[in-house]
Amino acid sequence: MSPNDGTVAGTGEFRLIEAVTAGRKQPESTLLGPGDDAAVVASPDGRTVASTDVLVQGVHFRLDWSSAEQVGRKAVAVNLTDIAAMGARPTSVLMGFACPSDTPTALVTELTQGMWLEADRAGIGIVGGDMVRADQIVISVTALGDLGGREPVTRSGARPGDVVAVCGRLGWAAAGLAVLGRGFRSPVSVVNAQRCPEPDYEAGIRAADGGATSMIDVSDGLLSDLGHIAEASGVGIDVRTADLDVSSRLTEVGTALGADPLKWVLTGGEDHAFAATFPSFAELPEGWTEIGVVTMPDSGVTVDGKRYGHDSGWQHWR
């Protein structure tokens, strides 16, 4: 391919890396950014929280449904919520990117622009990564975070009598996926919820400071992810549907598509809201809403006291 054909092969690996990193702003926590064998990131707490997610074209995103910038923002957001769910503050991300040789350079620069925009929204930097050839687009993001002196909030601390609470929207991304799957592109607010989540990265810190006993990022569906807490903690969890926010917009979309919006709220993933448990006497932090209670050991996850009769959320290879 010629050097001017507009593809990543024509641009070349090192010119492409320079194009997506040159002139980018880094926070003070980045002591050494892109350009060396490894990055150096400050960790004032002395402990580093780390998480990795992989997004595969056709599985996690479609470029006929989302812009490259939206895909880039989503790739960063889904990783940073895992950091926030531990009660930590994100500090940086590293990017692994693979694509076919004929991928347009403009698509890659737009995608990485989205990554930088989301990193900037979280107050962090992209400190390094790697680019390689592959048969399809694959994005791997590793996120790092700092606990700021807090103990990590894990999935295993819930106790019977704790209240269950959520922070963030539920069901919107699932509704957006249903709309896109029918070939529609509106309502835009619902469709964009699927294309690019907008998590509150401070929610996890507020929960940790508010005494959360367990916490998780809701990525695969509320019931599915609460099930992880229940299993790790050896408890049961009961969700009260009367306390869930089923917005009028979701109801409108559900009516139009012949779908139950409550099912989206209970089982839909990719909103990247947060779910946590708190002692019954605790005052819930700003933005958190009580939706249920932790019940007797090993009783599983129930809805209004009964087993839910549908799939509880997303699983790969199923």
**Annotated binding-site positions for Mg(2+):** 37, 51-53, 82, 130, 217, 220
- Extract the tokens encoding 136: 């399809």
- Extract the tokens encoding 80: 């940073």
Task: Find where tokens 């249903």 sit.
Answer: 178
Q: Which of 298, 290, 291 is nearest to 233 (CA)?
A: 298
DSSP assignment of 231-266, as one string?
Answer: HHHT-EEEE-GGGS---HHHHHHHHHHT--HHHHHH
Binding residues: 37, 51-53, 60, 82, 129-130, 155, 217, 219-220, 270, 314
Report which residue type is found at 168: G
Phi then psi dihedrals of residue 13, to 5 deg? -55, -50
- Extract the tokens encoding 24: 């980018």
- State the CB neighbour count (10 A cutoff) for residue 120: 15
Binding residues for ATP: 129-130, 155, 219
b/e map of 284-298 (b: 16 or more CB within 10 Å)?
bbeebeebbbbbeee
Give the CA dihedral 179, 183, 189, 193, nearest 10 degrees: 70
Report which residue type is found at 73: R
Identify the helix (H) or strand (E) that includes residue 93: strand 89-99
Q: Give dist(CA 126, CA 88) in Å, integer.
A: 17
Binding residues for substrate: 60, 270, 314
